[in-house]
Structure 1
Amino acid sequence: MKKKSKVVSYNKWGYIFLIPFVVIYLVFQMIPLFSTIYNSFFENYRSGLKQIGPNFVGLQNFATIITNGDLPTYLKNTLIMWILGFVPQILLSLLLGAWFTDPSLRLKAQGFFKTVIYLPNLIMASAFAMLFFTLFSNSGPINSILVQIGFLKEPYQFMSHVWSVRGLVAFMNCLMWFGNTTILLMAGMMGIDPSLFEAAQVDGATATQIFYKITLPLLKPILIYVMITSLIGGLQMFDVPQILTNGTGDPMRSSMTLIMYLNKHLFSKNFGLGGALSVFMFIITGILSLIVFKFTASEDKD
């Protein structure tokens, strides 16, 4: 008789190590997701001290969200502030990533500079928002400096103008996240075969041509990942505009984001409308992410 081969199977250990992740994912992701979808079909809110519902109302909450006209307005606000912050963020990250990964530049103290550019990502968004609120207030340091050097005759009311508030929110998001994006892009650039760059240099290609013809095309998977994750994070923008505008979204609700709008429903205990809005946001995020993915993937086929 043949002896049974003593082959150690490690498959079960892989599944065992996955159990904590699966449990956490089910408890904190899937159960709340289905609970939110379930609550969106019910009238469930507090009127004074009286609890109304939960009463099944079908699609009435979704109809209310659509007909009141707030959803398109706040979606537009959110996308505008995300685009204003993402475009300079990706450009700056590409530039820094190209510098840090270019061996011909021989930059010194790279570890120090990489740490410095990543540090803003470690600071709480609430602290960032409070800092900028203080800096750009009517009697803040920025206005004082601009008046003293004669650039302004009187303090500029940054918090009272639509585009100055949007610009501050976008600038803060760019400042907080460009370090993380730079690290991701650098990882992608360092994974490119150096022989491609050497061959291009031998053929007489300039640094600009190498970047546009070799680096960018090979970075496309990382760029798609960064764009989609940034879009998802942008649609969930909350803490910076919430603190900067004290939750009002002023001026004229021009900086009110979708999550700030959702927070008002949750604060007022209107769980039915809050659930419906969450479902809308889930659908919008999925559609926009799919559009970004399809648009960038279609370019690969051309």
Structure 2
Amino acid sequence: MASAAQRRIKSISYAKYGYMFIAPFFLVYCFFQIWPLIQTFILSFQGNGADAGTFVGFDNYATILFGSGEGMGRRAKAMQELFLTSFKNTIILWFGNFIPQILLSLLLAVWFTDSKLHIPGVGFFKVVMYLPNIITAVSVAALFMRFISNSQLSAVNTLLLNAGNDAVSFEASAVWSRGIVMFIQTWLWFGNTMIMMMSGIMGINPSLFEAAAIDGASSGQVLRKVTLPLLRPMVVYTLITSMIGGLQMFDIPYLYHTGAGKINANLRTVAVFVYEQFRAGAKVHQPDYGIAGAASVILFIITAALGILVFRMNRDEDEHRKKQERKALVKEYKKQQKLAKNGGLGA
């Protein structure tokens, strides 16, 4: 028989030490993440300019979505058009960089993980392709401004002028400016996405590929019938994270302009719109904190809704059905246990 001291030692819980170790992270997270989020919701219901700090209900949301908010006057319609244009730019820029990014990353991941190809220097290529991801956005924006921009000193315009052609105003063209930003975003992130796809492919049981090869499946059939279906969780994860980052795109669209303080209208994203409302007071009017907060909350709701939609579209219906059946069985079992217990007490 175990002694009292042994039983007391066995009953000691060390969970509190684990909570002590993770407490600093949660404290920092609450201070720098949770409270700013709460404050953003509070600001979205407050007035702007001279009415800052006063509760105005959903006026800021009405201004952004319908151009009919109280206290904004003629600026309400202009603010609505500016927000909707910013949201359209955000969607265009995100789709324009995500689609080529995921296709290129998936293609490279399949190549680098195919044991039949025996590509030499795979480790070197992976490092080189991942390097852009660790460069700061400011540095990348400065690099491409020197390479291709409105400035006659940019590399492309210098070549055009030396060849006897006129300099091109790349930033004034919606196609050129958006295309350049899409290319920059793809170049920055495809290496990270490629590594994620490679980790997903290497996590697939090799015996499945061997069985497909024995059955005479071609490379395309293996990709469509084996790799992509089993890679779906990783693709969904990449889609969700890319969507969150894409809808919050700020650095490159904000920095890609030659003129000081001039935001390219074709590159104004929702994040840039929010930043402008915080900084607008220096030149035009007092900061519109309420408008900025409402725009942030709307972006949060849209992101959450799209995330839920993506999860529902990509979930395994058979597994979901089995899970619902298990829940129904557990519920029925508990119900029967409760009825038996009540019947025993009544007897």
Q: State the TM-score, normalizing by the size of structure 2.
A: 0.79
With over 3 angstroms needed to count, the CA separation of the structure-2 counterparts of 1:111 and 1:35, relative to structure 1, is: same
Letter in 2 for 1:162: A
Give the drift of 1:281.
1.1
Letter in 1 for 2:138: S
**Bigger RCO (CA 8 Å, 6+ sep):** 1
Give the drift of 1:9.
4.2
Letter in 2 for 1:76: K
Letter in 2 for 1:179: G
Match of 2:16?
12
- In structure 2, distance between residues paired with 1:199 and 1:220: 20
Letter in 2 for 1:155: A
2:221 matches 1:209 = yes
2:136 matches 1:132 = no
Match of 2:60?
61
- In structure 1, distance between residues paired with 2:160 and 2:115: 41
- Matched-pair contact (CA < 8 Å) for 1:248–1:256: no
Letter in 2 for 1:2: A
Q: Which runs of 5+ in 2 are unaligned?
A: 68-79, 281-286, 322-347
Larger of the two Rg values belongs to structure = 2
Letter in 2 for 1:270: D
What is the SS of the residue equivalent to 2:100?
helix
- In structure 2, distance between residues paired with 1:73 and 1:59: 21
Letter in 2 for 1:289: G
- In structure 1, distance between residues paired with 2:138 and 2:209: 43
Give the drift of 1:229.
0.5
- In structure 1, distance between residues paired with 2:307 and 2:159: 42
Give the drift of 1:183.
0.8
2:276 matches 1:294 = no
2:241 matches 1:229 = yes
- In structure 2, distance between residues paired with 1:146 and 1:226: 39
2:189 matches 1:177 = yes
Q: Residue by residue, what CA displacement relative to the aligned partner does 1:116-152 show, whole Å, maximum 9, x if unpaired?
A: 00000011111111211221134221234356679xx
With over 3 angstroms needed to count, the CA separation of the structure-2 counterparts of 1:91 and 1:148, relative to structure 1, is: farther
Give the drift of 1:181.
0.5
2:156 equivalent among 138, 142, 150: 142
Give the drift of 1:215.
0.7
What is the SS of the residue equivalent to 1:254?
helix
Letter in 2 for 1:142: V
- In structure 2, distance between residues paired with 1:2 and 1:293: 51
Q: State the TM-score, normalizing by the size of structure 1.
A: 0.90
Give the drift of 1:64.
1.3
Instruction: Answer 1 or 2: which has greater strand percent.
Output: 1
Identity within the alignment, % = 44
Aligned pairs for 1:43-82 (under 5 A) are 43-45=47-49, 52-66=51-65, 67=67, 68-82=80-94
Aligned pairs for 1:150-299 (under 5 A) are 153-245=165-257, 248-250=262-264, 253-268=265-280, 269-297=287-315
2:27 matches 1:23 = yes
Q: Which runs of 5+ in 1 are unaligned?
A: 46-50
What is the SS of the residue equivalent to 1:54?
coil
Give the drift of 1:238.
0.8
What is the SS of the residue equivalent to 1:204?
coil
Match of 2:2?
2
Q: Residue by residue, what CA displacement relative to the aligned partner does 1:195-230 show, whole Å, maximum 9, x if unpaired?
A: 000110011111111111111111100100100110
What is the SS of the residue equivalent to 1:43?
coil
What is the SS of the residue equivalent to 1:154?
coil
When structure 1 is superposed on structure 2, of 269-278 and 83-92 the one drifting more is 269-278
Q: Residue by residue, what CA displacement relative to the aligned partner does 1:37-74 show, whole Å, maximum 9, x if unpaired?
A: 111111143xxxxx653111111111111212332221
